[in-house]
Structures are given as structure tokens and as C-alpha cells.
């Protein structure tokens, strides 16, 4: 039944992937127009169209790269527009649209349910509306808790109203992995030694980046461990297990290497005490997973840390969440494929389960396309702006992974350079998602299903 509905819809050009792509594009254009107007800027003047487009794109694509300082260039209304765009980008066009339908009391049709199913790659049509409602409630709950914790620091420092506004904005930005803040022009460097700011930001980033599907699977497994008398891990899906394992390895492994690479570097953590060094290293590892906040200057990183940051930015967070990148599960599947090949296994296996060959092909395709975009955009940026290799690759990887970390060159880019990053941020936000959904669709036709003679090609 699902296939019969999807196939005709493809012919009419209304696939889920196109709806997502057009939805994000429309939101970017509307946001750019609003941000151009004088009411959106702090000094009441019109904002350059390219800067407005760049800001709308970085907000919707929850990236965090900025060409103008968010805290000083935009008025409160402009900042509010940016926050709404980041919220829309973090939750996703489909999720927000369905939430609006639920709020106004409109019936969710079968077509709507199929749209949700494809968006989150679910294997059932039941319980999808409840999932959307839970996602919205969970999002606002975590953002609310984050705002309260931020307020403990910001209200005494900035006063009640300014402190409250900064707390709300930063909580939404952190959970949505947007990476923008309205505290100042140096991100969170002034709070490098503040545990409340650091751990609040890190937890919001991690929860947003895990993926909504993992949230509920973890909660369900925790509740059922006593009811069904089984271990917590036994109640987790294979997807959740891979996400949690990869997330832990990348966060703590990355923190360890940052700690070692930067320990004696006076430009980053060299002058901090041991505890602050450990916290800053952990924060750097977490923020590279598509968040974009910083407590240490990225331009001061050692070459080892710079390379590690680029790798982590490209990997990103997990599927069906607020993070970007090629995703933890993609990298996890590629690693498992390599291990299975080395061990002489025909199938890719993980925790006594076989991973489908389609999943492996999808993971490889997503990775290759992402790397192609990064390399192609880097070449174009070399041509338009003539920047150094590290700066260029770092900036493009940050845009592709929708991270937002920069070595301080974003605002100095040419108009052409900014437009290149706009395109890369857009591809980074919708590319892996739409690509995965497109590859998951079963297409009919003799050319796709025919069996051809096999012939060997030498490899390696």
C-alpha cells in the first residue's frame, strides 16, 4: 500500500525529499527577506542582501557561521527571527508543519503520516502523530531546562530581561545545534572556565544530536527493564546501540586527543588549570559534532587538532535529530563493513545482527557525495578568495557539517565566497537526509531490476 502511494507521487514530483528540500529553501528565502528590513538590524538600516541570505541560511541549516556579529548587528526582533529559523531548522520542516496541523486541530491524513514515516525512516505508520507531539514536548522541555540553567549565570551578569533573553536564545541555539549566541563577539570564550555554561551547552548539544528516535527508544527500554525483566541494553534497537556507541567513542576519544594536542598550547588551553583543560577539551569535542560554539579560538589550534576538528565536523551527529554531517551511523556502518571484509565475512554484522547491503551502499554513497561537495567547494573557495589550505578546508567542512566553527575568516569572504558557503550549508543540511530517503525508495522498472553478467575488476 505504501509503495502504491509513493510511486505515483514521484511521478507528480511530490516526493518527500523534494518537499523537504523546497521547504527549507522557502524558509531560507522568507527569512532572508525579513532580515533585510531595517527593523531587523540594531541600527535601523537595511542589511546587505548577501549577509541577510547568509544569516537566514546559517539559521535554518543550524550551522552557526556568521558574516555579521549576531549579538550586535541584529535588533531583538532580528534575533527573534533568527531563533525561530533555528528552531524550524532544528526540528525540521515536516515536524513543524505537522505540529502546526495538530495545534489548529486539523486531521493528519494518511499522506501526512507517510510523510512523517519517510522523514524519520520509520517502519510503521502507527503512533507517528504521537511521536511528533513527543518530539515537540521533549524539545521545549529540554530547551526550557537549558534556559533556566543559563539564566543562573546570565541574569546576574546582564540583568533580568537581557539575561533571560540571552538564556532562551542560547538554549534554543544549543539544542538545535545552531551554534549562534548573543552573548558577545567571541562566542563562549569568556565562559571557558564556567562549568554551568559548559555542561549546559554540551548536554543540550548532545541531546539534540542523538536523534529523536533514540530518545524514545532509550526511555522505553529504561521503563521496560523492570516490566519485562530484561536488561536495559536488551530493549534498545540496533540503531540506538550504534548511535550511542559511536557518540561515546567520538566524544570521549575526541576529547582525549584534543587534551593531548593542546595541553601545552598557550593559544588555547595551555594557560588553564588541569580541570579547565579537561573541560575545554571535552567541550571542543562536543561542539565539533555540528554545534559551533567555542570556548577556545579555533585559529589557535595545533595542526593535529585542526585536522581532528575537520574530521569530527564532517561526521557530525546522528540521524533524525538536530545535527548535521554525514552522521554517526554512516561512519559506524562503514567501519563495520571494513571489519567484516577483513574478517572474511560475507555479511556486515553488528551485535549478532546482519546489516543490509542497501544500508552499506547508502552509507558509502552519502560519504562519497559529502566528500565530493567538500573538495569541490574548497577548490571554488580557493579560486574566489585565495585563502590558505587549512582555513579554506576548515570553513567548508564547517559549512558542510552544519557546524559553525570558524578560524575567523567568514566575515572577510567575498560575496562569491559567501554564496558558495550558502550552497554548501544548504546541501549539508538537506543533502544526507534527502539522499538517504531517495535511495530508500523502491523504484520499479526493468533497468533497475535486471540481472547482468558478472565480471571481476581488480581492487587495491
- Residue 324: φ, ψ to 5°: -110, -150
Residues 220 and 206: their CA atoms lie apart, in Å, by 19
pLDDT band at 185 (very low <50, low <70, confident <90, very high): confident
Cα separations in angstroms, 451 against 281, 365, 412, 447, 454: 52, 21, 54, 9, 9
Query: Taking 60 as the threshold, does the pLDDT of residue 43 lie above it?
Result: yes
- Structural domain spans, the chain: 16-436
User: What is the rounded distance in angstroms from the CA atom of residue 129 to the CA atom of residue 116?
Assistant: 8
pLDDT tens track for 61-82: 999 999 999 999 999 999 999 9
Give the DSSP letter string of 55-93: HHHHHHTT----SS-HHHHB-HHHHHHHHHHHHHHHH-H
- The percent of residues above 70 in pLDDT, for the chain, comes to 90
Q: Give the pLDDT score at 10.
A: 43
CB 279 within 8 A of CB 195: yes
Rounded Cα distance between 246 and 232, Å, is: 18
| Grid cell digits, residue 94 | 515536516
Sign, CA dihedral 279-236-176-437, equals positive
Tell the burial category of 33 from Cβ atoms under 10 Å away from its Cβ (0-12, 13-18, 19+). middle
**pTM: predicted TM-score of the whole model, two decimal places:** 0.89
Residue 83, burial from CB neighbour count under 10 angstroms (0-12, 13-18, 19+): buried
236-279 pLDDT tens trace: 999 999 999 999 999 999 999 999 999 999 999 999 999 999 99
CA 26, 31, 32 angle in degrees (round to 5)?
Answer: 100
In whole angstroms, what is the distance from residue 414 CA to residue 230 CA?
A: 59
Amino acid at each position: 500500500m505504501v509503495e502504491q502511494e509513493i510511486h505515483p507521487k514521484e511521478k507528480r514530483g511530490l516526493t518527500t525529499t523534494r518537499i523537504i528540500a523546497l521547504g527549507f529553501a522557502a524558509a531560507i528565502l522568507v527569512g532572508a527577506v525579513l532580515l533585510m528590513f531595517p527593523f531587523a538590524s540594531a541600527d535601523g538600516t537595511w542589511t546587505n542582501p548577501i549577509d541577510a541570505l547568509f544569516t537566514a541560511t546559517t539559521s535554518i541549516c543550524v550551522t552557526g557561521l556568521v558574516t555579521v556579529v549576531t549579538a550586535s548587528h541584529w535588533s531583538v526582533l532580528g534575533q527573534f527571527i533568527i531563533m525561530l529559523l533555528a528552531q524550524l531548522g532544528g526540528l525540521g520542516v515536516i515536524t513543524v508543519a505537522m505540529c502546526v496541523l495538530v495545534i489548529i486541530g486539523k486531521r493528519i491524513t494518511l499522506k501526512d503520516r507517510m510523510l512523517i514515516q519517510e522523514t524519520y525512516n520509520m517502519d510503521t505508520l502507527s503512533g507517528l502523530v504521537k511521536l511528533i507531539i513527543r518530539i515537540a514536548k521533549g524539545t521545549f522541555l529540554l530547551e526550557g531546562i537549558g534556559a533556566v540553567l543559563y539564566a543562573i549565570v546570565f541574569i546576574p551578569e546582564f540583568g533580568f530581561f537581557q539575561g533571560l533573553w540571552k538564556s532562551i536564545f542560547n538554549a534554543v541555539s544549543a539544542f538545535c545545534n545552531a551554534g549562534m549566541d548573543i552573548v558577545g563577539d567571541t562566542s563562549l570564550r569568556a565562559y571557558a572556565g564556567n562549568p554551568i555554561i559548559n555542561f549546559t551547552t554540551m548536554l543540550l548539544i548532545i541531546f539534540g544530536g542523538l536523534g529523536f528516535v533514540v530518545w524514545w527508544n532509550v526511555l522505553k527500554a529504561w521503563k521496560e527493564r523492570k516490566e519485562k525483566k530484561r536488561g536495559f541494553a536488551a530493549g534498545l534497537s540496533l540503531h540506538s546501540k550504534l548511535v550511542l556507541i559511536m557518540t561515546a567513542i567520538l566524544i570521549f576519544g575526541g576529547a582525549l586527543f584534543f587534551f593531548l594536542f593542546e595541553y601545552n598550547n598557550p593559544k588555547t588551553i595551555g594557560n588553564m588549570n588541569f580541570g579547565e583543560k579537561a573541560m575545554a577539551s571535552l567541550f571542543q569535542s562536543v561542539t565539533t559534532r555540528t554545534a559551533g560554539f567555542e570556548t577556545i579560538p579555533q585559529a589557535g589550534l595545533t595542526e593535529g587538532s585542526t585536522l581532528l576538528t575537520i574530521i569530527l565536523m564532517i561526521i557530525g551527529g546522528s540521524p533524525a535529530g538536530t545535527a548535521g554531517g554525514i552522521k554517526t551511523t554512516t561512519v559506524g556502518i562503514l567501519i563495520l563493513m571494513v571489519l567484516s571484509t577483513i574478517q572474511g565475512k560475507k555479511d556486515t554484522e553488528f551485535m549478532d545482527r546482519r546489516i543490509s547491503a542497501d544500508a552499506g551502499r547508502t552509507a558509502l554513497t552519502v560519504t562519497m557525495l559529502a566528500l565530493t561537495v567538500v573538495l569541490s567547494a574548497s577548490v571554488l573557495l580557493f579560486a574566489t578568495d585565495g585563502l590558505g589550505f587549512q582555513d579554506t578546508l576548515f570553513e567548508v567542512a564547517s559549512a558542510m557539517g552544519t557546524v559553525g566553527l570558524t578560524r575567523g575568516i567568514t566575515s572577510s569572504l567575498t560575496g562569491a565566497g559567501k554564496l558558495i558557503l550558502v550552497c554548501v550549508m544548504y546541501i549539508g543540511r538537506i543533502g544526507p537526509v534527502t539522499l538517504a530517503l531517495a535511495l530508500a525508495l523502491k523504484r520499479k522498472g526493468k533497468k533497475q531490476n535486471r540481472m547482468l553478467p558478472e565480471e571481476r575488476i581488480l581492487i587495491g
